[in-house]
Structure 1
Amino acid sequence: VALSIIFALFSSLILALTLIPVLSSFILSKRPDKESALIKLLTKWYRPALLFALSHIKGTVMAVLLLFAGSLYLASKTGKTFMPTMDEGSIIIGVEMLPSISLKESLALNLKLQKKLLASVPEIKDIIARTGSDELGLDPMSLNDTDTFLVLNEKETWREPSKVFVIEEIRKVLDEFVGIEFGFTQPIEMRVSEMLTGVRGDLAIDIFGSDNEQLELIAVQIKNILQNITGSSDVYKKANEGVEYFELKFDKKAMAYHGISQKELNTFLKVMVTGMQAGIIQEGMRRIDLMVKGDETLQNSLDKVQNLYYPLENGKAVPLSNFVKFISNAGPVQIEHEHGYRKTIVQTNVEGRDLVSFVEEAKNIIEKEVKLPAGYYLTFGGEFENQQRAAARLAIIVPLALFLVFILLFVSFGSLTQATMVLINVPLALIGGFIGLYVSGEYMSVPASVGFIALLGIAVLNGVVLVNYFNYLIINGSTLRDAVIEGSIKRLRPVLMTATIAAFGLLPLLFATGPGSEIQRPLAIVVINGLISSTLLTLIILPILYLKFSKSSGDREMTK
């Protein structure tokens, strides 16, 4: 976006300096320019307002300061998030079952769930599901994890034209299934979140420590807290306990008596239970792995494994139970590590409120109610991590942009005072932007921040138009007051045209309804409302500032 704007402005500058003067010499009439009826009407309203403001400078400035303070108050009440949620037109349900479930059982339960969804929610057209990992291992998932992709019918056929309604109907169906955890996301949203933060939720709380049981207790506490906070949705804690493991204890004396090594026993068990590749069969272009393995039922029956016989070199076979004892243990599915600590994750989506206020409330409650043992700590990530990263970056970029604009203004006018006057337009633009966001119900997000940055240039441009013309009139002999009044009225049309054209250009973004419109709308709201406040207040405040602070001949001499 930034590069597109830079190249567009650069091309516009070249055309303005080369082509436009040539075309103007042919197209423009030699007759005096006549003002339209609309401009005459606006001038008729503007002149008395300007004269009143110049006669009541303190009151006017105080009113604008109060307006700015009010907009800052509204800004403090405006929620903050990373990106507005975009309606991609489809839904993904992340379903997690018990960790001990087999692939066969997982597929059967998923099929039952999908049939129920198709029968109960007519808005769903098709369902595509994926369980476990792919063959390449690029998208690692457990056998108990399923991504269910829902393709929706056209919105005109829905019972209610609301995706929230559809999700609630789906949620009712899923609540009927015991022993599953689920969460909602969208294809692009899911991929972007996974690439940037490694998780899918709006908020992911990473819990670090040394003991799995302690981590599990803390995770359950935090999950219960999040479920009771207004706005939480699809609170999810990975089910990491309950998998049955069998510990093998080898009788080394018995093994030595029969001349069997532990490696040989391990290989035997692996071949019988999971199989081992013995070679490759080539059939044309196809390569087929040749596997050697025991009976298929061995994977589902410990008794059958224990009753196996181990073949000896002398041709005899002895029961496996002579050498191995199987001890049942329950344990975690996996143990995640990061920064040298074990970790577990609790994540949630946020609905109906902004992300930052939700996280702040969650932090306060967790600090009060969860006592972390020594050596344990929390981090807050997910979409919230992206928001914090973007806010930190903008905290550097915006002041830098303002500083560069100020340098350009100082070089252009040769006056510190006049450069500061023009830069005063920035707070005037912020007034409209803040009010627009609050009234529209949008949050302060990355698109809204981009809109505020775009406002810097447009708002400053109006100030340059006015100050430059004031200087021109003074150089040509006008008094300071006459230059301010006449210049403001003469430049009314250019100032209004600059702001109006920019605002009209953003109207399609404001009223767009297609995919991606949710991201475009905050930018358009900020720029359009900022232009309204900046234009109206600049035409009043800038003449006052010029009249008050340009009385010294020093500024006029520098301008000359």
Structure 2
Amino acid sequence: WTRQIVFERLSLAREQLPPGVEPELGPLSTGLGEILQYTLEGEGKSAMELRTVQDWIVAPLLKPIPGVNEVNSFGGEVKQYQVLISPEKLLKYDLTVNEVVEAVEQGNANAGGGVVVRGWEQLYLRGVGLMKDIPDIERIVLKSKDGSPVYVRDVADVVIGAEPRQGAVSRDGQGEAVAGMIIMLKGANSEDVVSRVKESIGKIRSTLPEGVKLNVFYDRTSLIEACIKTVVDALLEGGIFVILILFLFVAEFRTALIVVFSLPLTFLVSFILMGSAGISSNLMSLGGLAFSVGMVVDGSIVVVENIRRHLAHRTEKEHKRRIVAEALVEVAKPVAFSILIIAIILVPLFTLQGIEGKMFAPLAATMLLAMLVSLVVALTVIPVLSDVFLKQVPEKEFGFIHRFHRAYVRLLGRAVRHPAVTLGSSGGVLVASLALLPFMGTTFMPELDEGSIAVNVVRLPNASLEGSVKVATFLEQRLLMFPEVDTVVSKTGRAEISEDPMGPEQTDIFIMLKPRKQWGTGRDKPELVEAIQKELAQLPGLRFSFSQPIALRVNELISGVKSDLAVKVFGPDLEVLEQFADRAATTLSGIEGARDVKVEQVSGMSQLDVVIDREAVARHGLTIGDVNAVIETAVAGKQATTLIEEQRRFAVVVRFPLSARGDLPELERLLVMAPDGEHVPLSQIADFQVVEAPAQVSRENGMRRVVAEANIRGRDLGGFVSEVQQKLAPLVKELPSGYYVEYGGQFENQQRAMRQLALVVPIALLLIMVLLYLALGSIWNALLVLLNLPFALVGGVVAVVAFQMPVSVSAAIAFIVLLGVAVQNGVVLVAFFRQLQEQGESVADTVLKGCDLRFRPLLMTALTSFIGHLPMLYATGSGADIQKPLAVVVMGGLITSTLLTLIVLPTIYSLFAKRFAPA
């Protein structure tokens, strides 16, 4: 729908564009659709030969693959037939450039003549006049002079040449190559598409001309597979740890086995539901399962532990199934509500927008599925298995667990007897944790290690493509000196149909690294980037910006620049904007953590203007259009027609040879034919002026803007931006009326995500309060359970500061999930307190007996959740940095919230028992 709207707007805008300017819609893909890139190389093969192979052999075979939207060609030389007119011979034969263009156009056509009937048969009549080769072009008649025909060959040389280009590709310091980029259709599965593309590439290699090699240098699925491996390892290891904890705490083998069975069953059903819901297996969706691996057994632990306790006190007259049912009914409500609370707290994640929404919605969806499935398993499968397999055995614990249990009961007794000390200590911890808040930095998202490096190189605006390619080749040779580097590919300028419009002064260098095991230098990736930056910084006249292939594209999609932070200044006058941006860049360079600081190039490009003298043109009976037509056709060239070679189509372009247009004197001598047949030199009717022109004019939301940009290293994004805003405030105040400043890039995403969460999280907490009231039947009991929340957050805050980890969207989401996890055990314990008091127990007995009986299941649920996140904490593969904040926050919060549930919550309950007691 959006694409249709854009197309309609383009149709309206097309009428206002100059003649010859034709806007094109890009492919139906996202900005991250480049899933695979390859180069074509061949010793002894020219850039034109390689490009022809790409355009007419490789690309046509890859485009029909399901899921492929476009195969973008980059670099090389596009073949065309060039009719190079001699100005002197045009004068000799009294011809104009336009007459040659028209003759070539009309001299290349077939025609249909209908049908000729001949007896019992009919023949289709066809006039054949299409050009097949250079001699056909040369024999086109332009006019007749003195009874003799004037052919194209009389006034021009017809040659095979290259289309003017604005982009080139080079690889590994060996010179130019041709690149192809597979653009994936929006909504397709990248792994499936790349698999099909690779299969086709294997077949295509056998059809290539001898000596031509097709080498894939960038494959998105390698990153996807590495990320999935990281999260699957965490999932499996977390599952194993959870199983070990279960067998460690449950001294009875059958009970432990029943709970263990719930883990694979829950994930199996979750996978089936994922497939039905169309949720693909990726870093975040599998991460949701890994994140919940310790939580999905919580309900089963509580149910089976309660059933086992009831069976241990069973008399011979009591029917086993009835006891199982009674035990289930006793805990079903709190278990159901505790899991539903976690489900409710996940709802805010579905409201996230932009990149963070795309990333964390799958995580929330799979967590939600797993938790709901675990609830069904706990309330249906576990009771059935307990009825079939559990036997009446006395309750027992392993020795060290028993000693720990008894120590806890003694500690609880002291805490309840000295409530002032207990509550004062816990309150002190809570207040002390507030002092850590200033030490918490903020960022948008932990950096995902893509296993490769992208470097954006900027030269002076007037840099030629040929010079830029030589510089890129030199840089490739320097980069290959690093032992960690496997291959280096440079893209200079832009492709003919480009998703990334760059001038020839810009180059994107893709540095593909060897597997980490082969490095052998002892450096990690950040140290390698610093070493490369230090090496390249010695080269004068070049500006570098370091990133990663996907991160570079994401930054560009967010703010239009390829850096972490963009300081955008808007207003009508480019000179004012540039002056502010230069001053802002100077300020940025002096701030700790700033790297790759630069200003968007908006000036410094030289331009040759042909200023037409209107009076002189009028004296010769010419028009502005006549003069511009000569300039356009003679210098830039004009496509007259297309020559078809089998299935290949090549443009036939009419233009002047380089000798007649290569420099200022030649341009001044260009002749313009007047209506009376006079040939007027261009210098007589126009002035030639070399002027400075804008290198580019960027607009955002209809306003001109200039950007000062920077990458951030060794510092959190929020603190960096805060300092930038503080130091730029005086400069912003000096801006004239009508000018304003905005901050874009990753910071823009972070602000949007935090604003959205600040809006929806309170609503989710209100829903949790409602569920707690329904579960516990008392507003005071609900508030008591909610006391867990600040203590859970304390643990998360301490963990974040201890690990020197900035609060990212990942960490913020972990804090949200922690709210649900922290409430879970409190619900089960307070609900059990109510049951005991309803049975007539005293307050003291209720607290001590309730905590004693619920100690093991509560500790088991906390430990399984804690230990289930442990593999995410120490994982080092691709994608681990995204998952680590989730584990750090939840594990830290579980420690403090469990202590509160087992010590502080019973103390408060006993202190205000009359408030919490059931009516």
Same fold (TM > 0.5): yes
User: What is the aligned counterpart of 1:292 among 631, 640, 654?
Assistant: 654
Give the Å deviation of 1:313: 5.4
Q: TM-score, normalised by structure 2?
A: 0.59
Cα distance per residue 1:380-413 (max 9 Å; x no partner): 1100001101111111222122111111010111
Q: 3-state SS of the aligned residue for 2:454? A: strand
Contact 1:155 1:161 in 2 (8 A): no
Once superposed, what is the RMSD of the aligned Cα atoms?
A: 1.7
Indicate the residue corresponding to 2:545 in structure 1: 183
The amino acid that maps onto 1:537 is L
Please give the alpha-carbon distance, in whole angstroms, between the structure 1 residues aligned to 2:389 and 2:399. 22
Please give the alpha-carbon distance, in whole angstroms, between the structure 1 residues aligned to 2:530 and 2:890. 35
Contact 2:580 2:731 in 1 (8 A): no
Contact 1:246 1:328 in 2 (8 A): yes
Where in structure 2 are there 5+ consecutive unaligned residues?
1-362
Indicate the residue corresponding to 2:497 in structure 1: 136
Indicate the residue corresponding to 2:516 in structure 1: 155
Indicate the residue corresponding to 1:220 in structure 2: 582
Indicate the residue corresponding to 1:533 in structure 2: 896
Contact 1:277 1:291 in 2 (8 A): yes
The amino acid that maps onto 1:377 is Y
Indicate the residue corresponding to 2:865 in structure 1: 502
Question: Where does 1:50-89 land on structure 2 (aligned, <5 Å)?
Answer: 50-89=412-451
Please give the alpha-carbon distance, in whole angstroms, between the structure 2 residues aligned to 1:424 and 1:299. 82
* Higher mean displacement: 319-328 or 413-422: 319-328
Please give the alpha-carbon distance, in whole angstroms, between the structure 1 residues aligned to 2:437 and 2:662. 61
Give the Å deviation of 1:255: 2.1
Give the Å deviation of 1:555: 3.8
Give the Å deviation of 1:374: 2.5
The amino acid that maps onto 1:309 is L
Give the Å deviation of 1:73: 2.0
User: What is the aligned counterpart of 1:418 among 761, 778, 781?
Assistant: 781
Please give the alpha-carbon distance, in whole angstroms, between the structure 2 residues aligned to 1:373 and 1:252. 38
Indicate the residue corresponding to 2:486 in structure 1: 125
Give the Å deviation of 1:159: 1.7
The amino acid that maps onto 2:565 is L
The amino acid that maps onto 2:537 is D
Please give the alpha-carbon distance, in whole angstroms, between the structure 2 residues aligned to 1:301 and 1:122. 45
Where in structure 1 are there 5+ consecutive unaligned residues?
none
Are 1:514 and 2:877 matched, yes or no?
yes
* Higher mean displacement: 418-427 or 193-202: 193-202
The amino acid that maps onto 2:805 is E
Give the Å deviation of 1:7: 1.0
**Structure ID, larger Rg:** 2
Moved over 6 A (4+): none
Question: When the two structures are aligned, how many residues end up with a matched partner?
Answer: 555
CA, structure 1 residues 414+299, in 2 after alignment: closer, same or farther (shift >3 Å)? farther
Indicate the residue corresponding to 1:452 in structure 2: 815
The amino acid that maps onto 1:327 is Q
The amino acid that maps onto 2:428 is L
User: What is the aligned counterpart of 1:348 among 683, 699, 710?
Assistant: 710
The amino acid that maps onto 2:614 is K
* Higher mean displacement: 298-307 or 393-402: 298-307
Please give the alpha-carbon distance, in whole angstroms, between the structure 1 residues aligned to 2:725 and 2:581. 14
Contact 1:417 1:555 in 2 (8 A): no
Give the Å deviation of 1:493: 0.5
* Higher mean displacement: 244-253 or 502-511: 244-253
CA, structure 1 residues 336+198, in 2 after alignment: closer, same or farther (shift >3 Å)? closer
Contact 1:247 1:326 in 2 (8 A): yes
Contact 2:558 2:744 in 1 (8 A): no
Give the Å deviation of 1:290: 1.2
Indicate the residue corresponding to 2:844 in structure 1: 481
Q: 3-state SS of the aligned residue for 2:807? A: coil
Indicate the residue corresponding to 1:244 in structure 2: 606
Give the Å deviation of 1:298: 6.0
Contact 2:492 2:504 in 1 (8 A): yes
Give the Å deviation of 1:446: 1.1
Q: 3-state SS of the aligned residue for 1:92? A: strand
Contact 2:637 2:653 in 1 (8 A): yes
Give the Å deviation of 1:443: 0.9
Q: 3-state SS of the aligned residue for 1:491? A: helix
Please give the alpha-carbon distance, in whole angstroms, between the structure 2 residues aligned to 1:174 and 1:311. 53
Structure with the bigger RCO (C-alpha within 8 Å, sep 6+) is 1
Please give the alpha-carbon distance, in whole angstroms, between the structure 2 residues aligned to 1:42 and 1:265. 96
* Higher mean displacement: 316-325 or 368-377: 368-377
Cα distance per residue 1:13-57 (max 9 Å; x no partner): 111221111100111111222223233111222122112211221
Question: Where does 1:14-413 land on structure 2 (aligned, <5 Å)?
Answer: 14-119=376-481, 121-156=482-517, 157-296=519-658, 300-312=662-674, 316-369=678-731, 371-413=734-776
Please give the alpha-carbon distance, in whole angstroms, between the structure 2 residues aligned to 1:72 and 1:304. 76
Please give the alpha-carbon distance, in whole angstroms, between the structure 1 residues aligned to 2:861 and 2:819. 14
Please give the alpha-carbon distance, in whole angstroms, between the structure 2 residues aligned to 1:446 and 1:93. 26
Q: TM-score, normalised by structure 1?
A: 0.96
Aligned residues: percent identity? Answer: 39
Contact 1:92 1:186 in 2 (8 A): yes
Q: 3-state SS of the aligned residue for 2:436? A: helix
CA, structure 1 residues 330+348, in 2 after alignment: closer, same or farther (shift >3 Å)? same
Give the Å deviation of 1:299: 6.2
Please give the alpha-carbon distance, in whole angstroms, between the structure 1 residues aligned to 2:745 and 2:728. 17
Give the Å deviation of 1:297: 5.4
Cα distance per residue 1:175-211 (max 9 Å; x no partner): 2222221101111212222233332222100011221
Q: 3-state SS of the aligned residue for 2:450? A: coil
Indicate the residue corresponding to 1:550 in structure 2: 913
Give the Å deviation of 1:312: 4.4
